[in-house]
Chains A and B, each alone.
Chain A
Amino acid sequence: MNIDPAEWVERVSKLALINLSEEEKKLLIKDMARIIDFFNMINELKGLDDVEPLFMMPRGEPVLRDDEVGECLSINEVLMNVKEKEDRFIKGPRTA
């Protein structure tokens, strides 16, 4: 890989919204280039232009269920793991 591993970790962790400690950075930098080289193995394969990518196992049938009202969780159950709430509302951080 031509990218500098330290720079790579810095850039991608920002993109992924993950803060890393110095120790974690060191450990990730250590193996990152080797792992990307390992990924690069698939680039040995040529002539794949016409191959259709396989995202999910192909299905020959409709996958949607009927839109029928059924039993569902109560609001209390849905909110049981929320730490900050007011009445029936979840408190979240600012988005702007």
Chain B
Amino acid sequence: MKKLIENNITYLVEQFYSNPSLIEEYIHEVYEVIGKVEDRVKSYITLRPLEDVLDEFRKLRDRIKYGFKGRLLGIAVAVKDCIVTRGIRTTCASRMLQDFIPPYNATVVERIINEGGIIIGKTNMDEFAMGSTTENSAFYVTRNPWDLSRVAGGSSGGSAAAVSSREASIALGSDTGGSIRTPASYTGTVGMKPTYGLVSRYGLIAYANSLEQIGPIARNLSDLTLMLSIISGHDPKDSTSLKIYDTNYDRYLSKAPLKNYKIAVIKECIEQGVDRAVMQAFNRAISRFESEGLEVTEVSMPLIKYGLPAYYIIADAEASSNLARYDGIRYGYHVGVGERSYDDVYSEVRSYGFGLEVKRRILLGTFVLSAGYYDQYYLKALKVRRLLRNEFVRIFNRYDFIAIPTTPTPPPKVGEAIDDPLKLYLMDIYTVLANLVGIPAISIPADIVDGLPIGIQILGPELSEGYLINIAYIYEEISKLRDLTPPLVV
């Protein structure tokens, strides 16, 4: 018999209404899977005890009796550990926050709970979301359920691995420069970085606040669309939140194109430095689109190569400022204050609390913001950002979408890239663009090559999430690449 966990969320929720005791069975199933695979995959930093989750189920069951309705009724949701959860430890995979218990919920968490969703745990990530492989976690590496010798991507690696291996039905990640889309690509899941400002960042622990957004990682478009509909929309607690109130994207799950779509492929993104397997999957996806009658055109954007250095300058600058809050006095890693000076205490806290990559980015950020270098690096990077944004606007005047690979290579082996920071940064070359210019982008499985899933990334203009869902759904329908099952789970 098909396990409950294998079903999509909308179907599950319908079943749960007519028979709430099924929720209990489902929760046991999820924890059984976790018991089987978690030792090897390491998706979670904090997993709630089964008893606590069952308690929550019982309360939920009582509320159902009194007419409670929720679009995530009883659904096990995993949340990246940089999104605060009231009463549940939130570490950012850092020693700095290893015993931090938030006194409040992020807005996205609040919205999930209001819909009856059950947060079952907090997922592993690169420390403070700085990384592309989840190897920068202060605790342990998350492994790819498709091949345990490989990484699951990052920085939302735990969220993607949990969803892929059925340790949760759906997860939240955060994406500063590809941290949702890269792990989605590596694990055969779908992941979306929404338009800047569509999803509230209230309760998202900041790394680079002008770039990042929270978004869903799911096994299929239907689940992703549901979660996006729930977490999107205006939040007065986030001053960058857009005043958008209609966030029901269901109608875009249509097998027919809702417009006469034109797709642009950026020539510079497929010309060189892309792995053979990635190219094979990408070409397969493009020919599938063409066989559906969609128009695909190659366009040139020479400026694109400046995106990656500009991104790292801006992200590091913002990080050096955002991470200045960790003084260990109000929360986080603490050293005895005694009669010591502020600089002394502060330096010691930062030296112990942060890992190497975080320190590296703080130093680089401090440097590009320092007197004499500010104009040359930081300001200039922001100018490049403006030019890139203008370029994207120009392309979107003529095309509905841009299609490019999500990452230039398949998931690397654990340990293969971690010792070379530049090699790691290069993994983000195609994902940082959407963050720099504030537009939405989705990664969906393009194909499976040599036993590994490989993603294709589709970008659209600001607030085109609906159409992105539509084209991704069309692809899911033709390719049948949905609910992909990694060998580990079989």
Contacts and interface: CB of A to CB of B under 8 A. Distances in A.
B309 A93 contact: no
Contacts of B345: 93
A19 B306 contact: no
A22 interface: no
Contacts of A52: 383, 386
Interface in B196-248: 196-197, 210, 236-237, 239-240, 242-243
Q: Indicate the size class of the contact surface on chain A.
A: 35 or more
A69 interface: no
A8 B312 CA distance: 18
Interface in A36-74: 36, 38-45, 48, 51-57, 59, 61, 63-65, 73
A92 B331 CA distance: 12
B104 interface: yes
Interface in B357-382: 359-360, 362-364, 366-368, 370, 376-377, 379-382
Contacts of A18: 347, 350-351, 354, 359, 362-363
Given A28-B363, A41-B309, A42-B381, A80 B210 contact: no
A2 to B, nearest CB: 13
A93 B356 contact: no
Contacts of B389: 54
B347 A17 contact: yes
B319 to A, nearest CB: 11
A56 B363 contact: no
B271 interface: no
B310 interface: yes
Interface stretch (B119-127, B146-154, B283-291, B420-428): B420-428
Given A42-B310, A56-B210, A93-B345, A24 B356 contact: yes
Given A73-B104, A81-B330, A19 B348 contact: yes
A82 B420 CA distance: 37
Given A38-B312, A38-B422, A82-B329, A19 B351 contact: yes
Interface residues of B, number: 70
B100 interface: yes
B52 interface: no
Given A42-B381, A48-B383, A94 B340 contact: yes
Given A15-B370, A18-B363, A38-B312, 7 more contacts: A41-B305, A48-B383, A48-B387, A54-B383, A59-B197, A93-B345, A94-B342
Interface of A: 8-9, 12-13, 15-20, 24, 27-28, 31, 34-36, 38-45, 48, 51-57, 59, 61, 63-65, 73, 77-78, 80-84, 90-95
Interface of B: 100-101, 103-104, 196-197, 210, 236-237, 239-240, 242-243, 305-306, 308-310, 312-313, 320, 328-332, 334, 336-348, 350-351, 354, 356, 359-360, 362-364, 366-368, 370, 376-377, 379-387, 389, 420-422, 425, 438
- Closest 8 A/B residue pairs (Cβ): A53-B382, A81-B331, A77-B103, A57-B438, A54-B386, A19-B351, A83-B334, A65-B236
